[in-house]
Amino acid sequence: MLKTHFIDTGLINYQKAWDFQKELQKKLLSQKQNENKATEQYLLYCEHPHVYTLGKSGKEENLLIQDDFLKKINAEFYNIDRGGDITYHGPGQIVGYPIFDLESMNIGVRSYIEKMENAVIRTLAEFNIHTERLDEAIGVWLKKNNGQRAEKICAIGVKVSRMITMHGFALNVYTDLNYFNYINPCGFSDKGVTSMEKELGEKIIIKDVKNILLDSIIKEFNLDLRRG
């Protein structure tokens, strides 16, 4: 079990957070190269100002607006190195970036994603929001029983190098869902998005969600967690 450092950066520019992830991943990769194993790993929590990110397998036409409108809504756009298509990050969203060594956990990438989905599903159940996976799409979803389209509440996208992860998940707590109107979220035009606030019809204290989610991640991955 690796010592896992937990850092909550608070609100942080996307580029700065991306650079920090790359720095930490490089550190762990260097450990594996020089010592044949990683000796530590990291879990980052953050929130971002309004930003759209497009994964390496994504299509730019899934961003439905032009540069001038991006400026009008105070949003940025980045082509990035994770899998998946386009997504949105913004205030009121818990973004998590695990820099984990899957080899030390003895799990593969698919199992890693499933464990992350499990942690989110269990967290939402604590708030009486019942969610699930979809066979055709990564992430955590609400499936409507009245024939309406499925709605994503948590997006997941990762990059893995020598079994060291980066990027991660984005859970909509009280996110401004209007920003999703300007994209085909994760490349889907037949599915929607939702948030905890929308589903519960009341204000959510994000700190409470962060704590419960952290607990779920610790249990799911059996982490030896240290703060800082």
Nearest 5°: the CA angle 14, 197, 137 is: 65
Look at phi and psi of residue 106 and say left if phi exceeds 0, alpha if psi is from -120 to 50, else beta: left
Selecting among 186, 196, 217, 223, the annotated active-site residue is: 186
Q: How far apart are CA 90 and CA 73, in angstroms?
A: 12
Residue 186 a catalytic site member: yes
Q: What residues are labeled active site?
A: 186
